[in-house]
Amino acid sequence: MTSRTRAPDRGDTDARDTDAGPVLLVGGLATPVGLLRPMAHALEQRGHTVTPVAIGAGVGCAQRTVDTLVERIHAAADDAAEPVALVGHSRGGQFARVAAHAAPDRVAGLVTLGTPLGMTGVALPTYAAVAAMAAAGTVGVPGFLRLSCLLGACCRAFRADLRRDWPPDLPLTSVYSRADRVVPAAASIDSRARNVEVGGGHLGMLTDERVLDQVAVALRRDHRGDSRGPTRRRPARRRPARRDPSTADLRAAG
């Protein structure tokens, strides 16, 4: 049975969690790091160590983006000597979901914000914008995904992993809004998740205080093991430092 919860009024959450864990905050389509900073700052005020991630501003090949994100997850978990929580907005939630399948022992849980479960279900103008970017990438515009990413062999594994059953012992929270005109609520509700309804629009999820409170609540539940199964998974193993090939891919959206 699908679990749905309406977000409570502000004031029902702790201002600071003294047992907060590390977080990777993953941006979505056309999202530069700057748009992630308000939420990162708010979570840091609650005690988390937050790393905003905007690989290619979220407009590149999904599989290559996930491969880079997996590297970042390993590096962050090694640095913290514990699994990291993932928070993903919009397409960033899709990247995080697939990356978690690739590194489940390094992930404490996932919180998605306005993230569609699959490649369809988004509003028609959104899909048209993605298709236009893919067409640009197909004719050679650098940095954009290609049509083969959406429909062909390039991101076939990504699309399959996006549909895979979520691990039952890995906490998942899906935050959605019925006022979201980019990703309709129905596209974000997941029978395997703790679904939380909030107000406001799609981009507003990154700055709305009520959403920030709900993200903090979900992270606290995940870190302490209060949500759907154990979340303090075995400690991350230290590995030799490796070069992150994605550094040059970080760029701001216009």
pLDDT digits (tens, 9 = 90+) for 140-199: 999 999 999 999 999 999 999 999 999 999 999 999 999 999 999 999 999 999 999 999
Query: Mean per-residue pLDDT for 104-118?
Result: 96
Cβ contacts of 124-132, under 8 Å, gap ≥ 24? 126/29, 126/182, 126/183, 129/29, 130/29
Is residue 48 within 8 Å of residue 23, measured between CB atoms?
yes
Q: Which comes out higher in pLDDT, residue 228 or 83?
A: 83
Q: Does 13 score more than 70 pLDDT?
A: no
What's the pLDDT score for residue 224? 63
Q: Which helix (H) or strand (E) holds 3?
A: strand 3-6
Question: What whole-number distance in Å separates Cα of residue 147 and Cα of residue 80?
Answer: 38
Enumerate residues 6+ apart whose C-beta is below 8 A from 118.
Answer: 162, 163, 187
Q: Please give the span between the terminal C-alpha atoms of the chain, in angstroms, as a whole number.
A: 42
Longest C-alpha distance within the chain, in Å?
A: 51
Report pTM.
0.83
Which domains, ranges and CATH numbers included, belong to the chain?
Answer: 20-117+157-225 (3.40.50.1820)
- Would the CA dihedral through 222, 226, 228, 229 be positive or negative? positive
